[in-house]
């Protein structure tokens, strides 16, 4: 409850606005063809450290079973299949369990495949201002987001921890002497984290909060859609209150949990602000949410414009004008630094060992990156020509899909 730092907005107003106005509509939008298919390359190698061995196997989406733990009978193929050791390995069951949980469902109907070829042609005819190298890769594939919901996959432990650690430690403008709270590697002394954070300029503080909000968002989804039990091969997913408490309860997190949740609201406000700012781009007749089905495309666009109207009616927006507002030269270099840090975080997502987590990590990072791009392109958006694709500001289908789904999360 209460007011958020760095903006004149309170939690209760956001809750009301989201629950009654925004969420039902955004949920509908996410189910439409244009927004449910996301093209992603899940095979890009991690550029920062050697991959954790097994993670390259498509379906083993948790910590790999170490070679030494795999029963001899299995390593030798079928010759020793019925030996006792092969049947009793708890480790192996865990690994197989993870296989089932984490598998990305890549089935697509032929109809969908034809539609994608159409989309690609349509996208190519638009005049892009930034090329997403990834889409052209033979490894990039379309994923149906409705068939691959974000949920707990069993991916945890050192590998998952290393991803977040490198995001916070190396990409949040943080000196090495300051450790973030609850970091198991932190020595007991050193500059206090929050003293350091308060001392930062608004931009860098915002950056940290956005990353923390993203982290909170992902953790929330895992708690809300958790594998509660698997009976007769039928998994039952649902909210795991105990897990939620472990990650967010003030008593269990030394007061950290509520801060994490506040950062989630802050992230919501930033993405909401971006949606209200990008409306003029979509209001032009030249922009079409093209799937080849004229009737559905018109409905999708009407729903999107309706959501934009709602976002503009919200009266407590985050005011990004106070950001990058210093002297021209300083502001420019800070903005560039921001962009590079963010780009780096999107590359770290290629180090996530579980395909499903990687998919949603990449999507939400790209969504937030798109929101930032919009907030820093206000002048370009306002001067867009009505009837022709613009050179000054362009969004690819990827960016649009990522923005809407990230905000939906």
In which residue ranges of the chain is pLDDT below 50? 53-88, 127-131, 133
- pLDDT the model gives residue 27: 97
pTM of the model: 0.84
Residue 176 labelled as part of a binding site? no
- pLDDT the model gives residue 107: 79
Residue by residue, what is the 3-state secondary structure of the chain? CCECCCCCCEHHHHHHHHHHHHHHHHHHHHCCHHHHEEEEECCCCCCCCCCCHHHHCCCCCCCCCCHHHCCHHHHCHHHHCCCHHHHHCHHHHHHHHHHHHHCCCCCCCHHHHHHHHHHHHHHHHCCCCCCCHHHHCCCEEEEECCCCCCCCCCCCCHHHHHHHHHHHHHHCCCCCCCCCCCCCCCCCCCCCHHHHHHCCCHHHHHHHHHHHHHHHHHHHHHHHCEEEEEECCEEEEECCHHHHHHHHCCCCCCCHHHHHHHHHHHHHHHHHHHHHHHHHHHHCCCCCCCCCCHHHHHHHHHHHHHHHHHHHHCCCCCCHHHCCCCCHHHHHHHHHHHHHHHHHHHHHHHHCCCHHHHHHHHHHHHHHHHHHHHHCCHHHHHCCCCCCCCCCCCCCHHHHHHHHHHHHC
- pLDDT the model gives residue 73: 26
Task: Please name which of 180, 405, 85 lies closest in space to residue 275, comparing C-alpha atoms.
Answer: 405
Residue 247 labelled as part of a binding site? yes
Residue 61 labelled as part of a binding site? no
Residue 215 labelled as part of a binding site? yes
Using CA of residue 27, residue 33, residue 34, residue 35, what is the dihedral sign?
positive
* 382 C-beta neighbours (distance < 10 Å), count: 12
Residue 311 labelled as part of a binding site? no
- pLDDT the model gives residue 54: 38
Residue 49 labelled as part of a binding site? no
Q: What are the catalytic residues?
A: 354, 357
pLDDT tens digit sequence for 137-170: 777 788 888 888 888 877 777 888 888 888 888 7
- pLDDT the model gives residue 154: 76
């Amino acid at each position: 409850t209460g007011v958020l730092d760095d903006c004149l907005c309170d939690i209760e107003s956001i809750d009301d606005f989201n629950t009654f106005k925004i969420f039902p509509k955004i949920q509908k939008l996410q189910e439409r063809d244009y927004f449910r298919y996301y093209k992603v390359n899940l095979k890009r190698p991690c550029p920062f450290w050697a991959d954790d061995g097994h993670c390259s196997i498509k379906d083993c989406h948790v910590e790999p079973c170490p070679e030494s733990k795999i029963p001899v009978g299995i390593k030798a193929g079928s010759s020793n299949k019925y030996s006792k050791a092969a049947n009793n390995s708890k480790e192996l069951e865990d690994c197989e369990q993870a296989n089932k949980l984490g598998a990305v469902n890549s089935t697509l109907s032929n109809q969908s495949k034809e539609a994608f070829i159409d989309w690609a042609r349509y996208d190519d005819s638009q005049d892009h201002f930034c090329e997403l190298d990834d889409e052209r890769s033979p490894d990039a594939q379309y994923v149906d987001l409705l068939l691959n919901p974000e949920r707990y996959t069993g991916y945890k432990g050192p590998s998952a921890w290393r991803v977040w650690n490198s995001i916070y430690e190396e990409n949040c403008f943080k000196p090495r002497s300051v450790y973030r709270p609850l970091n198991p590697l932190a020595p007991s002394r050193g500059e206090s984290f929050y003293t350091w954070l308060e001392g930062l300029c608004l931009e860098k503080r915002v950056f940290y909060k956005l990353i923390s909000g993203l982290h909170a968002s992902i953790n929330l989804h895992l708690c809300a859609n958790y594998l509660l039990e698997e009976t007769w091969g039928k998994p039952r997913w649902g909210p795991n209150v105990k897990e939620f408490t472990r990650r967010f309860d003030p008593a269990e997190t030394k007061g950290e949990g509520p801060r994490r949740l506040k950062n989630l609201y802050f992230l919501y406000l930033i993405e909401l602000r971006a949606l209200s700012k990008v409306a003029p781009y979509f209001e032009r007749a030249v922009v079409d949410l093209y799937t080849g089905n004229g009737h559905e495309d018109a409905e999708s666009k009407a729903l999107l414009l309706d959501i934009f109207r709602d976002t503009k009616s919200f009266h407590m927006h985050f005011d990004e004008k106070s950001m990058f507002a210093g002297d021209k030269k300083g502001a420019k270099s800070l903005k560039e630094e921001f962009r590079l840090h963010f780009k780096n975080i999107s590359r770290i997502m290629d180090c996530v060992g579980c395909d499903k987590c990687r998919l949603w990590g990449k999507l939400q990072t790209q969504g937030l990156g798109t929101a930032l791009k919009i907030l820093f392109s206000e002048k370009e958006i306002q001067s867009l020509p009505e009837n022709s694709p613009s050179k000054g500001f362009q969004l690819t289908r990827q960016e649009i899909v990522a923005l809407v789904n990230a905000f939906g999360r």
